[in-house]
Structure 1
Amino acid sequence: MRVQPVWRWLALLLCGALVLELFFVLRIATMVVVDPASTSFQRSEAWQLLNAGKLGQWHQQWVPYAQISDHLKRAVVAAEDDGFVDHDGVEWDAIEKAWERNQRAEEKAGVAGRKPVKIYGGSTITQQLAKNLLLSGERHFARKGQELVLAKLLELFLTKQRILEIYLNHVEWGPGIFGAEAAAQQYFRKPASRLSAAEAARLAVMLPQPKRFALQPQSSYLAQRARIVMRRMGHTALP
């Protein structure tokens, strides 16, 4: 008598999962021709700014791919995902290394008691876009699995150029600062189309921790990393 309700719940869960995946497919398909107005991550950040009474600090302006400096495109690809033009959305070697790092983190957490385990990503630009566009900020393996599926869908429906265009227009570059145009205006008082190689490299190395580096724009680490990225930019291919 109890088996039938269990199967009903499982069927409902499966239907819900399928509906969610269909929503994701349709959302990504529209991005072929429609510029996404915001991402899930941005909406979460906007809510936090609103609650803090700081929504006026929000800065974002969409600019087409052609109006973003090639220096910035190369710098971001060199710093974040140097295999971007060649992979299919996922770098499995990087994920394997990330898994190994996470296993070591789990072991250390077990020894330390209640210390939370950090989930390392090993994410490509496509995966980062998938996460920011459509997923929550939670870090767990189920979400990571969904991220991989969405990355494959992005690569299936969109060109590499379109993926990079959307990414550069929505990625965070500081508190309330989203996209290449807002970042260029905020840090260099110029449009994204006119960024120099050095300026682009500095913006690119901010991406892993944009809020932290927004408070330390002159840090020696940023300058050192920017020089490394600049040396790599000359060998970086663009879509």
Structure 2
Amino acid sequence: MKSIKWIWRFFKRLFIVLFILQLAYIVALKWINPPITITQIVSWMNGEGLTKEYVPLKDISEEAKLAVIASEDQLFPDHSGFDWRSIQKAIEYNKKKPGRVRGGSTISQQTAKNVFLWQGRSWIRKGLETYFTFMIERIWGKQRILEIYLNVAEMGRGIFGIEEAAQRYFNKPARDLTAREAAAIAAILPSPKKYQIKPMSSYVSSRSKKILQQMNFLRPDRDIQAIISNKQ
């Protein structure tokens, strides 16, 4: 009986310590850049490479910020981390076509997954993703979430972050990306290991044109401009 109580106290204290540590890490990342992620470690261990360079949001072109919002999460300025309508549509789609998988993740959810968790699909990971999404929305804010997303997202095999992608694909820094170039990078985000920019596949070419159209549609939105503008 004593051993059971000791084990219970041990795990309770361990849980409290781990909770405090992860909370402190979340708060620290509001100002400190993530040193490395699980996805980046796995990419390096699998021999796929690991190249990354962190740049602040002000050194990323407005076109790149707008492109990922247009491509990945057009309601990014308005939701609190979750786009419930898109999630419901994804659930219904996956039920009808179980052989395919359609995601409904927001930029906030993708950032939480990329920074704190591993790739894959499980209820445990999804539960943790929900928790971390909730926390970063309240602690970091939209601009910090977008900044980290643009710096940790995989944008090609072993290529992490918009700066590395801009240099690799267009031989220029992220701050100089044009609308077309940014749209091309955003077009490969759903599956960056599968789709290519150089040479550009027909899928990426077609998708980037659609993203450009959405960018032009979203550009006047004041809430989006408040997040992406470099003139603040």
On whether the aligned pair clears a TM of 0.5, the verdict is yes
| Matched residue type, 1:36 | P
Q: Does 1:66 align with 2:58?
A: yes
Matches within 5 A, 1:72-111: 72-105=64-97, 108=98
Deviation for aligned residue 1:13: 5.7
5+ residue gaps, structure 1, are: 110-117
Matches within 5 A, 1:70-219: 70-105=62-97, 108=98, 120-214=102-196, 217-219=199-201
Q: CA–CA distance in 2 between the matches of 1:15 and 1:194?
A: 50
Query: Which residue, 46, 49, 72 being the options, matches 1:48?
Result: 46
Q: CA–CA distance in 2 between the matches of 1:77 and 1:100?
A: 23
Deviation for aligned residue 1:202: 0.5
Q: Which position in structure 1 is the counterpart of 2:32?
A: 34
What are the superposed Cα offsets for residues 2-59 of structure 1, whole Å, 9 maximum, x if unpaired? xx94x8767766655554443332111001111112222112212222xxxx6xx432
Say which SS state the counterpart of residue 54 (structure 2) adopts.
Answer: coil
Q: CA RMSD in A?
A: 2.4
TM-score scaled to structure 2, two decimals? 0.85
CA distance 1:81–1:215, shift in 2 (3 Å): closer
Q: CA–CA distance in 2 between the matches of 1:185 and 1:69?
A: 13
Deviation for aligned residue 1:199: 0.5
5+ residue gaps, structure 2, are: 228-232
Q: CA–CA distance in 2 between the matches of 1:69 and 1:24?
A: 32
The 8 Å contact of residues 169 and 198 in structure 2, kept in 1 or not, is answered as no
Q: CA–CA distance in 1 between the matches of 2:197 and 2:213?
A: 25
Identity of aligned residues (%): 39
CA distance 1:123–1:20, shift in 2 (3 Å): farther
TM-score scaled to structure 1, two decimals? 0.82
The 8 Å contact of residues 119 and 139 in structure 1, kept in 2 or not, is answered as no
Q: CA–CA distance in 1 between the matches of 2:12 and 2:106?
A: 29
Q: CA–CA distance in 2 between the matches of 1:138 and 1:17?
A: 24
Say which SS state the counterpart of residue 112 (structure 2) adopts.
Answer: helix
Matches within 5 A, 1:1-16: 5=4, 16=14
